[in-house]
Amino acid sequence: MDSGYKKITDINFGEYDATNYRDSSSRDLFNRIFYRDNRVDQILENNKYFVLGDKGTGKTAYSVYLSNNIVDDTYASIVYMGETEYGKFVRLKEQRDLILSDYTDVWRVILLLLMSDKIYKTEDRSIFNGKSFSKLKEAIDDFYYCAFKPEIKSAIEFVEQAKDSATMVFEHLRGEMGDSKEIKFSDTRFQSNLMFLEKQFISALEGIKVSKKHIIFIDGIDVRPDNINYNEYLECIKGLAQAVWVLNTSTFQSKKSLKKLKIMLLIRPDIFDQMGLHNMNNKLNDNCVLLEWRTTYQHYRTSGLFEVVDKLFRSQQDVPELRNAKVGEAWDHYFPFKVFNHKEHALSDSSFIRECETFSVNNVLEGLLW
């Protein structure tokens, strides 16, 4: 008798890398199979700045879901750190003899540039009319010949050439700054150039009234490229973490409309522990969203882990009643058998328990969804 369920060979078990779901052709599938729990709401809270989780726990999946969908009037996007970006930072450090505090300054300018670009591409153009923000945008366009890409490596170029960047920004904003005095920028005053750029970005952002909430997720910082020294890697992301904290808790709190802006790091707990942030335990409790999926034998069937997998099957059924079935019915259909429990000496354990004993929890998630 036909049960109405698809054959298991017709079930799409998804991609191993959630970044592949950013493509429009796969967004519908991802929206159907994605398990939306209260962590989505937690990520959207104003005081959450870090998404913590081990490899395979879904950090990228949550950010992709929010970047693919407008949730609570929030427009999210993702930028990635990769081998090229780390290499640029190492080169910049060597050229400018940077220390950790300098890295933080560099990152603040980079993140403000990325946020400004996101706002300009998302908000209604009317909020920029006659504002210094428009002049700043013109300066950025001149620097990139109108070809800026919303990527970290593109933003690093703006910082690498801080003298030219600051000069262009000054020339475009001269009339808005209320000071006709000439300012000369020098390659030898790298830190002063950064301070000038940061000040102009903040001033421009404060001069507009954003109507939407904006989040930028920074992904890819968990993986150190093989050709990057560990200490150099750690200094780079320490500066990033410090910059994220300062922007979120200070800069974006300076005006009511800026409170709608937020930057979030996707990071492993062990890496987060090395960021050197003050009052780490408080930040872990107050400012982090932790992705933890472990459960117990007794409660596995009501756990998020079980629902993630069950929804993968349930959501892909053609019959509406099966798509809306109770949690567990789809799993029971595809794996209707018990496995041997050594303690009870009987076939009493669920087939799901065998899966979790055979693989780690993270492998179950990574293999079936992320």
34 in a structural domain:
no
Is 162 in the same domain as 299?
A: no
289 in a structural domain:
no
pLDDT at 355: 76
pLDDT at 101: 77
How many domains in the chain? 2
pLDDT at 19: 72
To which H or E segment does residue 363 belong? helix 361-368
Is 262 in the same domain as 317?
A: no
pLDDT at 361: 55
Distances (CA, A) of 182 to 55, 172, 185, 194: 52, 13, 10, 18
pLDDT at 297: 86
Decide which of 228, 249, 279 is a domain's last residue. Answer: 279
| Domain span holding position 123 | 76-279
pTM for the full predicted model: 0.92
pLDDT at 93: 86
pLDDT at 333: 95
pLDDT at 141: 95
Is 356 in the same domain as 211?
A: no
Along the chain (370 residues), what's the average pLDDT of each consecutive run of 10 residues? 84 78 78 94 97 93 95 96 89 84 92 97 89 93 93 94 95 76 86 95 93 96 88 92 96 90 96 92 94 90 93 94 95 92 85 75 54
3-state secondary structure 276-336: CCCCHHHHHHHHEEECCCCCCCCCHHHCHHHHHHHHHHHCCCCCHHHHCCCCCHHHHHHCC
